[in-house]
Structure 1
Amino acid sequence: MIKNTHLPKIHRADRYSSLKIFGFSIAVGLIMTVPFWRYQLGWLVCIVLLPFIYLLQVLNRTDLTKRSKIGFIWLSGWVFLLGVTFWLIQTEPGRWTGLTGWLSISSLVLTNILFSGFLSLGFVFFGITWVYLKPELWQKRIFLVLPALWVLAEWARSWLFSVISLGPNTTIGPHWNFGDLGFAASVTPLVFLARFMGLYGLGFVIIMINLCVWWLVQRRYKLPSVILASIMVVSFLGYMV
């Protein structure tokens, strides 16, 4: 009997690792919705991105294919957007679709799932940048590049949703801002910065804070400490005045 030595073997450990990453990707997406549950949890935006960054680090160390890595990143974003847009199902779906009963609700649920999957592409861009461009080599530039990418994704997501939901009584523009981290920070002293930077500028600062916390966990103290201290001082002074 001739043995085929060219085909790679699929080990149970590899499948088990993929399943664990699959489950962790879903968990990360759910965790990121926590600051949007209640106003009292808004302060969690300062650390809410840490599980997602950890997921990116895990993917960076695995031998998974590029398609698999992108899929896991996309899954996290998909779950997150499903969580923060679930309220759409409670907005009298009959008026949206012209249908009634369970058919109306089912159609809106399916539409919400498809919309969330399409609009979560911003997570993919952020994740690809982290995984494949190795931000640990960028040094100081990471604190500008990655927050800018995240905010750009939030801005593009708002425009895309307005295009998708375009109807007779709607207009195209960034009118829908769901899942933007700046909203969750509205009950924290950071909201003072929105006076000068707007919603997206506040989101930029939040991502920068998350990156600083991550770098501090990695025992890289100097630059993250300076950035965090500056943001905290300006925010609290402005909030108290």
Structure 2
Amino acid sequence: MLTAAVAGAVAVLAFAPFGYWPLQIASLGVLFYQVLRASDIKKSALVGWAYGFGWCAAGTHWLYISMHRYGDMAAPLAVIAVALLALLMAIYVALAMGAASWLRQRWTLSIPVMALLVLPAMWTLFEWTRGWLFTGFPWLATGYAHNASPLAGFVPIVGSYGTGWLAALSAGALLLTMHRTRWPALAGVVALYAAGFALQGVAWTHAVGRPISVRLLQGNVPQQEKFDPGFVLGALNMYQKAITAAPADLIATPETAVTVLPHQLPPGYLDNLASYAQGTGSTILLGMPVLDEQQQFYNAALGITGQPAGVPYYQYRKHHLVPFGEFVPPGLHWFVAMMAIPLGDMGRGAEVQPPLAVRDQLVLPNICYEDLFGEEIAGQLASAHRAGRQSASVLLNISNLAWFGDSIAIPQHLQISQMRSLETGRPMLRATNTGATAVIDGKGVVLSQLAPVTQGALAASVQGMGGMTPYILYGNKLMLALTVLALAAAVLLGRAGQRRGAGQ
């Protein structure tokens, strides 16, 4: 179990900011090897549990910063909370490896069948389950490590989870280099990566309309000051000056750049921004909370285009909320009470919301944690396509990661946004409080970004993209079909082997 935990922790080096993606395949190879050597289902599950703990604890240790530094939770309790989360998330790996071991015993499966069909499929299915069960926590999903590997060519087809399955398949195949099937396994890995490299040259989407000019603001407001009433006015003035410093087709602020409700703003604040937008032809996307007619709060983005008086501003309301950050799961208010963080139960925006028109482009916002859920973003694009409407041509993420300091959470989140660009073939813009504020093209390449934990504005010209990738049209269905087929093939091979054994 110690070896498994270390292997899981080492796998974090495959992700941003390190990027040593081959380590992830080697790490999974160690896990699969240990499961194949385990003598029973319980030992396989324990090995998986240890691996998952090392993976999650090393990869999300920055949660300690938000709970201790900004939430005033006692350091020992914050450490325990991070460890408990890692232990809970590790259950998915334990179940995956335990289920794989059960199938092996039930059908007397061979090592090649386990390495190529069962273990990669079980790993992927339970990783996908982690991404949606109890609202999901898909951080550090396997596929994210491969945004810059040859497997990136498969992302527009099978998405991040399908790419994770291919990585696990690679690990199983390389494991067979210690088996008598080493040469076919090596040939398969070479063919897989060659195909991925070739697929990177396929243009799934195409340019639409004229490029737009953008200015993405990074306020670098310290988290300890952000919600302090004594600092709110200063932040409002800072963002007003940053917005009106220069015109652009789209000017975007970070998530909750404005921390008060519209009716709590200084008189004329939004009107002055609207006048500037109208006078310069700019569109402003302002991150701020809003309140509906039922007095329900929403984490939202307000689109100000200089519309005539009486015409409501564009609104995007966050749909996928963060547990404990934006809603409190039933029965767990006692945990929130241990932290001095302004939390509450917010409302959920609609699953499908209209994009914001910016000249020739349609910009689809998402807020912070939402861009971890690729199928939801792809679903919005597919919904417009199926309804005969033009789908969004540019994606925009507004975030505030100041909760996690200058930690690896910032480059990890940037890598997640790169995966969304690869899946959809759309550029992704990022306007954040402390980083990473960046422009990503439709191939997942970061074209420009601001240095983290600095104040500034990133100016760029962005070309919108149209068309449908297979992932937009089918989401995770292709990945699910492939993994289920792999398991079905394993069972059929197992049955055939049992019949041959009985015949002898």
User: Taking structure 1 as the reference length, what is the TM-score of the superposition?
Assistant: 0.69
- Bigger radius of gyration, 1 or 2? 2
Match of 1:201 in 2: 162
Task: Name the SS of the counterpart of 1:38 in structure 2.
Answer: coil
Moved over 6 A (4+): none
Distance 2:153 2:138 in 1: 19
**Among 16, 34, 48, which residue is 2:27 paired with?**
48
Distance 1:196 1:206 in 2: 15
Match of 2:6 in 1: 27
Aligned-residue offset at 1:190: 1.2
Name the % identity: 18
Alpha-carbon deviations, 1:57-79, whole Å to 9, x = none?
3433xxxx764553343122212
Higher strand proportion (structure 1 or 2)? 2
Distance 1:142 1:24 in 2: 19
Task: Determine which structure has greater relative contact order: mean sequence separation of CA pairs < 8 Å that are 6+ residues apart, divided by chain length.
Answer: 1
Structure 1 pair 202–72 and aligned structure 2 pair: CA distance change class (3 A): closer
Kindly indicate whether residue 96 of structure 2 is the aligned counterpart of residue 126 of structure 1: yes
Q: For the Cα contact (< 8 Å) 2:97–2:119, is it kept in 1?
A: no
Distance 2:37 2:58 in 1: 23
Kindly indicate whether residue 140 of structure 2 is the aligned counterpart of residue 179 of structure 1: yes
Q: For the Cα contact (< 8 Å) 1:46–1:210, is it kept in 2?
A: yes
Aligned-residue offset at 1:200: 0.5
Task: Name the SS of the counterpart of 2:58 in structure 1.
Answer: helix
Kindly indicate whether residue 205 of structure 2 is the aligned counterpart of residue 230 of structure 1: no
**Among 77, 84, 87, which residue is 2:52 paired with?**
77
Structure 1 pair 76–48 and aligned structure 2 pair: CA distance change class (3 A): closer
Match of 1:57 in 2: 36
Alpha-carbon deviations, 1:91-149, whole Å to 9, x = none?
36566xxx52x52x443322221121111112212322444415752755752332221
**Among 151, 157, 180, which residue is 1:190 paired with?**
151
Match of 1:159 in 2: 132
Question: How many residue pairs end up in the alignment?
Answer: 199
Structure 1 pair 222–85 and aligned structure 2 pair: CA distance change class (3 A): same
Task: Name the SS of the counterpart of 2:20 in structure 1.
Answer: helix
Aligned-residue offset at 1:205: 0.5
Structure 1 pair 151–66 and aligned structure 2 pair: CA distance change class (3 A): closer
Question: Equivalent residues in 2 for 1:208-227 (5 A)?
Answer: 208-221=169-182, 223-227=184-188
Q: What are the ranges of 5 or more consecutive residues in structure 2 without an aligned counterpart?
A: 203-504
Q: For the Cα contact (< 8 Å) 1:43–1:185, is it kept in 2?
A: no
Aligned-residue offset at 1:39: 3.6
Task: Name the SS of the counterpart of 1:48 in structure 2.
Answer: helix
Distance 2:160 2:140 in 1: 12
Match of 1:13 in 2: none
Aligned-residue offset at 1:155: 1.6
Alignment-mate amino acid for residue 192 of structure 1: G
Distance 1:234 1:68 in 2: 36
Match of 2:64 in 1: 89
Alignment-mate amino acid for residue 84 of structure 1: G
Alignment-mate amino acid for residue 91 of structure 1: S
Distance 1:233 1:69 in 2: 33
Distance 2:2 2:67 in 1: 32
The worse-fitting range, judged by mean Cα deviation, of 151-160 and 133-142 is 133-142
Distance 1:57 1:141 in 2: 8
CA RMSD of aligned residues (A): 2.8
Q: What are the ranges of 5 or more consecutive residues in structure 1 without an aligned counterpart?
A: 1-21, 164-171
Alpha-carbon deviations, 1:125-181, whole Å to 9, x = none?
232244441575275575233222111111221224xx3xxxxxxxx3x4x422211
Distance 1:208 1:156 in 2: 18
Kindly indicate whether residue 118 of structure 2 is the aligned counterpart of residue 148 of structure 1: no
Aligned-residue offset at 1:216: 2.1
Higher helix proportion (structure 1 or 2)? 1
Distance 2:4 2:23 in 1: 19
Distance 2:195 2:175 in 1: 21
Distance 1:118 1:199 in 2: 22
Distance 1:139 1:25 in 2: 21
Aligned-residue offset at 1:222: 5.3
Alignment-mate amino acid for residue 227 of structure 1: G
User: Taking structure 2 as the reference length, what is the TM-score of the superposition?
Assistant: 0.36
Kindly indicate whether residue 11 of structure 2 is the aligned counterpart of residue 36 of structure 1: no
